[in-house]
Amino acid sequence: MRLINKSLIFLIFPLINLGCSSDDGGEEMVTPTPQENFGNWSPDFTNQTSDFTQTRTGSQGTEQTRTINVTSSSNTTSSTEEILEEDINEDGDLFEDIEVITITYTGSENLGNHQIISHEVLVDNDMELKVGNDTWSLSNGHIMYYGNDFVCSGEERYHNLDLVLYSEGKSPDTDGYTTGDGVEISLYLYPSESEIVPGNYMNYLEFWNSNSTILNSTFDSYNELIEFLGDLDDESEEGFVQKFCEISETSYLSYVEWGEYENNGNTTSDGDELDISNSNLTIEISDSNVYTIKFEGCFTKTNLPLSFYYKGYLGYYDKTYTEPGSGNKSSSEPKNTSLFFNK
């Protein structure tokens, strides 16, 4: 019995020692470092036009910086104050031709882009006639239709119209002829229809020199051309007309005259010798029949530049009948100019 007890004692003692061993060799507890959060970069990319620096600060006070590279591209388009609905030069009208300049600025780091739009007045259009350093305001105008003036293969091709513009103080009578004091300018037009058509109206010299094969010649001046055409015999004239009908599909300006009138009809300025060799006439017509007319490149007999701008409605006078409804399609006021031949 004692032997058994001794054996049990020897077996139990090591187990007690194991159970009571020291805990000095255990793992040490580690506290994790919290993650730092950052806010948005500042300043935002909204109006910068050159490189700039952005910064941001983290939740633990760390400050970061970066450089933003800004590149740019520009684009220009043409417009008008009327289209923009803005009086760019603040002169009380919406007539000016405007260049719209759009500059797009793009930031690096995928910041996108922003645009800056500016306007520049290309042409300051005032509704007036300019001759040298003098100007006269234009207030009104009308069209006088004199009927068909040229036929190609039996088809009416060109029609004779006068465009008449004048200042305040002048007004038309019942036949379309103006009276009163002021300034007036008349343009003899040959559109392809019985009314003014929009577009660019070529002058004689421009057309003939760009189609020199018709006459086998070029001309240095308008008067030289008119003299040449006036000297053509009937046979040459007929052949010339045929060539013209084959190629011509545009509208023409043949003649311009202007005058300043005082004492109800006495002119103080005579425009019979206006040089339209390098003139340019453009006409636009809106859906509501508002005419925008620009004329430039003309010179007086004293070499003064003449130009005008007009925007507004135009009256209309039918001059194809000597009396309305008579059926007589002869012009009530024969003119000294025709499309080709002053004879």
Is 304 domain-assigned?
yes
Task: Name residue 328's amino acid.
Answer: N
Residue 116 domain-assigned? yes
Q: Residues 107, 253: one domain?
A: no
| Residue 199 sits in the same domain as residue 110 | no
What is the strand order of the sheet 112-123 is part of?
70-80, 97-107, 112-123
Residues 221 and 261 reside in one and the same domain? yes
Are 152 and 226 contained in the same domain?
Answer: yes
Tokens of 339: 């499309």
Whether 290 and 203 share a structural domain: yes
Residue 105 within a domain = yes
**Rg of the chain (C-alpha set):** 43
Q: Would you say residue 4 lies in a domain?
A: no
pLDDT of residue 312: 93
Residue 335 has a pLDDT of: 44
Domain boundary among 95, 125, 155: 125
* Residues 6 or more apart in contact with residue 186 via CB below 8 angstroms: 162, 163, 164, 165, 256, 257, 258
- For residues 169 and 180, the answer to whether their CB atoms sit within 8 Å is yes
Whether 21 is covered by a domain: the verdict is no
Residue 30 lies in a domain: no
Same domain as 179, residue 85: no
Residue 248 has what pLDDT? 64
Contact between residue 317 and residue 143 where contact means Cβ atoms under 8 Å apart: yes
Q: Are residues 284 and 223 located together in one domain of the fold?
A: yes
The two tokens of residue 161 are: 């119209």
* 136 and 217, same domain (yes or no): yes
Tens place of pLDDT for every residue, the chain, 343 residues? 444 455 544 544 454 455 545 555 556 777 777 899 999 999 999 999 999 999 999 999 999 999 999 999 999 999 999 999 999 999 999 999 999 999 999 999 999 999 999 999 999 999 999 999 999 999 999 999 888 766 777 777 778 889 999 999 999 988 888 989 999 999 998 887 778 889 999 887 787 777 776 667 788 877 777 777 777 777 666 666 776 677 666 788 888 889 888 876 666 655 556 888 888 999 999 999 999 999 999 998 888 999 999 999 999 998 885 444 443 444 444 443 444 433 2
* pLDDT given at position 7: 52
Residue 332: inside a domain, yes or no?
Answer: no
Residues 224 and 136 in one domain: yes
Are 113 and 213 members of one domain? no
Number of domains in the chain: 2
Residue 138 lies in a domain: yes
Domain boundary among 75, 91, 125: 125
Same domain, 137 and 117: no
Query: What residue numbers bound the domain in which 51 lies?
Result: 41-60+67-125
Q: Give bridge partners of residue 65 from the DSSP assignment.
A: 55
Write out pLDDT tens, residues 171-190: 998 888 898 999 999 999 88
Q: Same structural domain for residues 174 and 109?
A: no
Query: Domain boundary residue among 125, 150, 170?
Result: 125
